[in-house]
Amino acid sequence: MIIDLHCHTKFSDGELTPEEIVLRAANRNIDVLAITDHDTIDGLDSAHQAIEKYSLKLNLIDGVEISTWWHGFEIHILGLNVNRADTQFQQRLSQQLKTRENRAHRIAEKLEKFGFKDCLKEVQKIANGQCISRVHFAKYLLSLGEVNTIQKAFDKYLGRKQKAYVSPNWISIEEAVNWIKEAGGQAVLAHPSRYELNNKWIRRLVDEFSALGGDAIEVALPRQSKNETIQLAQYANSAGLKASAGSDFHRVSPYTELGRYAPMPENVDPVWSSWQEIQRFS
Ligand code: AMP
Ligand code: MN
Ligand code: MN
Ligand code: MN
């Protein structure tokens, strides 16, 4: 059985539409897929419609990746199996999208000071009506030839503490966990080793997340060494948390693919161990 509990569509910073994502997942024989766009669940309806339209054998988990602010770091919390019809949850997420919009204005102001004229307008064009991500700014800088990779745009301008970085007013981890729980979902701490935190701080983050009622942490991710996986499994087990797995797929590239991530270790409790639907699959 192939499970992928983390990916993005055009509704945030991914490049495929929800329809293209579910078709690609089905083509790659994925059984269970969670779509987890940044701070929005608006792409989920069309993903479900596409599954029906093409009679795909794919179990779609309704998900989201919520941005939070913790001691000066942007920490991502995945919500899995959230109720997408929950109007309170929808309203709460639209508050995050406002924060995102506000941040986009502030980033654009900074970039305009560096001479990138009409920055916001151009980035809005790239985002094509969707909420603006730093990736859209990175693509803009790339299109100007200012940088030659997205990564360099983050290294020079958009990443933490770089020239055009702004501290966003994201909600706290506690709020994100509560929002997800109140929408009937499980809260999963995304990619714990990708925040520029040292081991002591990662442990602190994982323990705090567990104390706040978090359910799992991501353990099996792409481009990850065996040692990293072992370390993440230890964090999960010592904090009494389950383990999740996903590709964090954004776009087709030689390095990223739906369903592709490091093997899940045997000594963890998978977040899907209690999911009825999946038990029927396996
Ligand atoms: P945002 O959600 O607008 O803050 O944008 C963060 C997104 O940028 C992440 O989800 C990644 O998809 C992407 N990204 C790519 N490279 C980097 C990087 N070096 N640092 C932070 N984010 C990056
Ligand atoms: Mn992203
Ligand atoms: Mn993330
Ligand atoms: Mn992600």
pLDDT above 70 (res 281): no
Question: Sorting pLDDT into bands at 50, 70 and 90, what band is 280?
Answer: low
Find the radius of gyration of the CA atoms of the chain. 18
**Rounded Cα–Cα distance for residues 195 and 206 (Å):** 12
In single-letter form, the type of residue at position 194 comes to R
pLDDT above 70 (res 25): yes
Query: And the tokens for 121?
Result: 């307008």
3-class secondary structure, 108: helix
Please give the average per-residue pLDDT across 28-48, as a whole number. Answer: 98
Please give the average per-residue pLDDT across 73-88, as a whole number. Answer: 98
Helical segments of the chain, H only: 18-27, 44-53, 87-113, 119-127, 134-143, 150-153, 173-182, 199-211, 226-238, 276-281
Q: Hey, whose CA ends up nearest to atom 13 of ligand 1?
A: 135
Q: Hey, whose CA ends up nearest to atom 18 of ligand 1?
A: 154
The per-residue pLDDT for range 100-131, each reduced to its tens digit, is: 999 999 999 999 999 999 999 999 999 998 89
Q: Burial code of 57-77, b = ≥16 C-beta within 10 A, e = fewer?
A: ebbbbbbbbbbbbbeeeebbb
Please give the average per-residue pLDDT across 162-168, as a whole number. Answer: 97
Please give the average per-residue pLDDT across 255-281, as a whole number. Answer: 91
In this prediction, residue 198 carries a pLDDT of 97
Distance (Å) from CA 118 to ligand 3 centroid: 28
Mean model confidence pLDDT for the chain:
97
Helical segments of 145-246, H only: 150-153, 173-182, 199-211, 226-238
pTM above 0.95, yes or no: yes
Q: Is 220 exposed, middle or buried (0-12, 13-18, 19+ CB in 10 A)?
A: buried
Return the ligand 1 atom nearest residue 100 CA.
Answer: 3
Length of the chain: 282
Check: CB of residue 61 under 8 Å from CB of residue 32.
Answer: yes
pLDDT above 80 (res 176): yes
Q: Ligand 1: residues within 6 Å at CB?
A: 13, 38, 67, 133-135, 150-151, 154, 159, 250
pLDDT above 90 (res 277): no
**Rounded Cα–Cα distance for residues 234 and 16 (Å):** 34
Q: Hey, whose CA ends up nearest to atom 9 of ligand 1?
A: 135
Please give the average per-residue pLDDT across 47-66, as a whole number. Answer: 98
**Rounded Cα–Cα distance for residues 230 and 243 (Å):** 12
Return the ligand 1 atom nearest residue 168 CA.
Answer: 4
Beta strand pairing status for 216-220 and 186-189? parallel
pLDDT above 90 (res 52): yes
Question: Sorting pLDDT into bands at 50, 70 and 90, what band is 179?
Answer: very high
Cβ-Cβ contacts under 8 Å for 240 (sequence gap 6 or more): 210
Question: Sorting pLDDT into bands at 50, 70 and 90, what band is 282?
Answer: low
pLDDT above 80 (res 174): yes
In this prediction, residue 58 carries a pLDDT of 97
**Rounded Cα–Cα distance for residues 107 and 86 (Å):** 32
- Torsion, Cα 14 19 25 26, to 10 degrees, reads 180
**Rounded Cα–Cα distance for residues 118 and 116 (Å):** 7
